[in-house]
Amino acid sequence: MSILKIAIQKSGRLSESSRKLFEECGIKISNGSGSLKVIAGNFPVEILLLRDDDIPQYVEQRVADIGIVGENMVYEKKKDVAVLEQLGFAGCRLSLAIPKEESYPGTGFFMNKKVATSYPVLLSEYFASTNISAEIEELSGSVEIAPGIGLADAICDIVSSGSTLLTNGLREVEMVMKSQAVIISNRNLDPEKQKILERLLFRIRAVKNARENKYILLNAPEEAVEDICRILPGMKSPTILPLAEKGWCSLHSVVKEDEFWDRIDQLREAGAEGILVIPIEKMIL
């Protein structure tokens, strides 16, 4: 029987969320005792625990069939793999930052300057697209200290909260790319592996949809129902049930997590009462 080999990060910013995603997909991965390979108990997959930098290459070479890695890593490594799905975690950006006391006139600042980064490919593409000629100093880590020790004039590094830049006296001036965790796949999977992958993607999408949406229940007077239905489109249209109290009904629907507070204000204005918002565990469209 075929087994789909999945590469995830062994330890780091992607590992916990990757494991949690599989758990929510009903795939049990044992914690393992430092081993690099883990077989799932109840789904035909084998998990390989690797450094994130190596995942694109291993997927291209079919050591692993698919992998979970940051988009920044996929595009930096330039491997021939398919990007199948954004996963909505490990969100960050690759940005240029300069010493905070320096004035910034625009991208011309970088002309003939030295910029330290662990992302030389993405940075040189950015400089080419903005017609900037600058020197790129490749570093494998601690990029943020480069200007302070006189190694570079600026840096290009991953930023999420911005606190690393702040504590190193740097300020973000340009965004080179946005990134989040994605699933990548080898381009030549055999049909059996492809089938397992499709079953896995089906589950992942159900988990993602559930995370991105909330179930909402509310009470409303009948005359407000039409307005409320316009605010609450739902998966098809809202469910409307009569309440024991005459002239009132209960509406059930689904709202997007990121539109949630806007919708709540609109609903209250339209006459909704007793609003309940409930997390969804799985959502299959």
Site of interaction with Zn ion (CB under 5 A) = 52-53
Can residue 90 be called a binding residue for ligand PRT (CB under 6 A)? yes
Which residue number, 72 or 253, has a Cβ lying nearer to Zn ion? 72
CA terminus-to-terminus distance, the chain: 30
126, HSE (Cβ side, Cα atoms, 13 Å): 25
Q: Considering the complex, what minimum distance in angstroms separates the CB of residue 13 from ligand PRT?
A: 4
Can residue 157 be called a binding residue for ligand PRT (CB under 6 A)? yes
Angle of helix 191-212 relative to helix 15-24, nearest 10 degrees, comes to 100
Binding mask 101-140 for ligand PRT (x = CB under 6 A): ----------------------------------------
Q: Which amino acid is at 116?
A: A
Q: Considering the complex, what minimum distance in angstroms separates the CB of residue 165 from ligand PRT?
A: 6
Residue 224, contacted partner among ligand PRT, Zn ion, none, CB below 5-8 A by kind: none
Binding mask 45-64 for ligand PRT (x = CB under 6 A): ------xxx-----------
CB count in 10 Å sphere of residue 234? 16
Closest residue (Cβ) to ligand PRT? 70
> Are 42 and 234 contacting, i.e. CB atoms less than 8 angstroms apart?
no
C-alpha closest to that of 85 among 151, 232, 184: 184
Residues 192-211 that bind ligand PRT (CB under 6 A): none
SS3 258: helix
> Are 187 and 107 contacting, i.e. CB atoms less than 8 angstroms apart?
no
Interface with ligand PRT (CB under 6 A): 9, 12-14, 51-53, 70, 72-73, 90, 92, 157-164, 179
